[in-house]
């Protein structure tokens, strides 16, 4: 018998140009066979990294009524997935949505998309970063980069100056905030290699996956990573395998973009990697 199709609700902004947040989550999850319900939190002409003059329409006022309608319809979900959010108020709203759609114990993935390279994104302040901790506390899985982990834990950002012990301690501290599973992205212990570290609190296991490091800063790759990770988990991969699938997919998209010389602020060519993702998931 064919399995019942999985459903995910993803809550993030629409950056119309720049391949991040919903414009990557929706195609990646859909291609992986997951019915993807979207809850846009804001509409921007572009994302906020590397562009100036972008428009921003906040959709906070619409969120509660959209969810009320879904509740009337009895919508249930296998996963809730949040990324870039517009405001502190949205963090509180979304914490309530996690409760409202909590029936059946869905996987709750909170990607605390708010910072990179030691700095918060332009729209955010430390109150927002502190608020993100409250949302992470309600997650079953969180996927921060090292900068985000530092903000979540009020630790000094280590730059490149960390070791295995620091990573494993940080994974445990993040899990102690609430989520049983944690994936840290952007981890590197040797020149030319970059990857992810994962921790599962229930089994007390840690795992790593590394690929080639392609020099440069590419926008939206955190969102691509989290979306592919969720696609892998909802297709039955266990955490330590899923981190590798997401790494290979993301680096493949970066490699293609680096080869063309396209401007990194427009995001990476994940579209041509979708076939690769589906073959890694064994569904094409
Ligand atoms: O997660 C990346 C992202 C998503 N959405 C918006 C952003 C960014 C990163 O800068 O600005 C609006």
Percent of the chain with pLDDT over 90: 97
pLDDT band for 1, please (50, 70, 90 cuts): very low
Residues constituting the chain: 284
- Quick one: pLDDT at residue 261? 87
Asked if residue 1 belongs to a domain, the reply is no
pLDDT band for 227, please (50, 70, 90 cuts): very high
Pick from 12, 13, 20 the residue to mutate for probing ligand 1's pocket: most ligand atoms within 8 Å of its CB.
20
Query: Ligand 1 centre and the CA of 222: distance in Å?
Result: 9
What tokens were used for 276? 């690769």
Query: Ligand 1 centre and the CA of 55: distance in Å?
Result: 13
Asked if residue 284 belongs to a domain, the reply is no
Pick the closest to residue 265 from 29, 41, 27, 52 (CA basis).
52
Indicate if the pLDDT at residue 44 is higher than 80: yes
Number of structural domains, the chain? 1
Query: Ligand 1 centre and the CA of 14: distance in Å?
Result: 9
Residues with a CB atom less than 6 Å from ligand 1: 13, 15, 20-21, 44, 47-49, 83-84, 113, 121, 220, 222-223
Domain that holds residue 187: 7-277
Query: Ligand 1 centre and the CA of 84: distance in Å?
Result: 6
Q: What is the CA radius of gyration of the chain?
A: 18
Residue nearest to atom 2 of ligand 1 (CA): 220
Asked if residue 2 belongs to a domain, the reply is no
Q: Using CA atoms, how far apart are residues 17 and 10, in angstroms rounded to an integer?
A: 19
Indicate if the pLDDT at residue 90 is higher than 60: yes
Asked if residue 283 belongs to a domain, the reply is no
Q: Are 232 and 276 in contact (CB under 8 A)?
A: no
CATH code for the domain of 40: 3.40.1190.20
Asked if residue 259 belongs to a domain, the reply is yes
Query: Ligand 1 centre and the CA of 21: distance in Å?
Result: 7
Indicate if the pLDDT at residue 46 is higher than 60: yes
Taking only the tens place, the pLDDT of each residue in 179-226 is 999 999 999 999 999 999 999 999 999 999 999 999 999 999 999 999
Q: Using CA atoms, how far apart are residues 222 and 68, in angstroms rounded to an integer?
A: 30
- Quick one: pLDDT at residue 199? 99
Q: Are 93 and 22 in contact (CB under 8 A)?
A: no
Taking only the tens place, the pLDDT of each residue in 12-29 is 999 999 999 999 999 999
Query: How many Cβ atoms sit within 10 Å of the Cβ of residue 211?
Result: 17
Residues 6+ apart with CB under 8 A from 242: 229, 232, 233
- Mean pLDDT of the residues in the chain: 97
Query: How many Cβ atoms sit within 10 Å of the Cβ of residue 1?
Result: 3
* pTM of the predicted model as reported, rounded to 2 decimal places: 0.98
- Quick one: pLDDT at residue 2? 67
Query: Ligand 1 centre and the CA of 4: distance in Å?
Result: 33
Pick the closest to residue 36 from 45, 27, 44 (CA basis).
27
Asked if residue 47 belongs to a domain, the reply is yes
Residue nearest to atom 7 of ligand 1 (CA): 47
């Amino acid at each position: 018998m064919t399995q019942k199709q999985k459903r995910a609700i993803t809550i993030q902004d629409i950056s119309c140009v720049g391949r991040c947040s919903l414009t990557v989550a929706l195609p990646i999850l859909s291609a992986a066979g997951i019915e993807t319900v979207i809850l846009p939190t804001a509409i921007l002409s572009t994302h906020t990294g590397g562009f100036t003059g972008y428009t921003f329409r906040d959709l906070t006022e619409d969120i509660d009524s959209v969810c009320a309608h879904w509740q009337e319809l009895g919508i249930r979900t296998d996963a809730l997935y949040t990324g870039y959010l517009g405001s502190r108020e949205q963090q509180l709203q979304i914490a309530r949505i996690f409760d409202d759609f909590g029936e059946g114990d869905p996987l709750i993935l909170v990607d605390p998309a708010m910072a990179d390279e030691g700095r918060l994104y332009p729209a955010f302040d430390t109150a927002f970063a502190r608020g993100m901790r409250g949302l992470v506390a309600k997650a079953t899985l969180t996927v921060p980069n090292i900068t985000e982990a530092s903000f979540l834990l009020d630790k000094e950002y280590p730059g490149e100056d960390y070791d295995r012990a620091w990573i494993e301690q940080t994974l445990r501290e993040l899990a102690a905030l609430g989520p049983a599973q944690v994936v840290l992205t952007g981890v590197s212990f040797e020149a030319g290699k970059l990857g992810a570290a994962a921790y599962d609190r229930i089994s007390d296991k840690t795992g790593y996956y590394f690929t080639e490091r392609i020099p440069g800063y590419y926008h939206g790759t955190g969102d691509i990573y989290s979306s592919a990770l969720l696609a892998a988990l909802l297709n039955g991969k266990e955490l330590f395998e899923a981190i590798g699938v997401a790494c290979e997919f993301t680096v493949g998209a970066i490699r293609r973009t680096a080869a063309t010389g396209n401007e990194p602020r427009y995001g990476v060519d994940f579209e041509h990697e979708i076939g690769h993702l589906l073959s890694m998931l064994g569904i094409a």
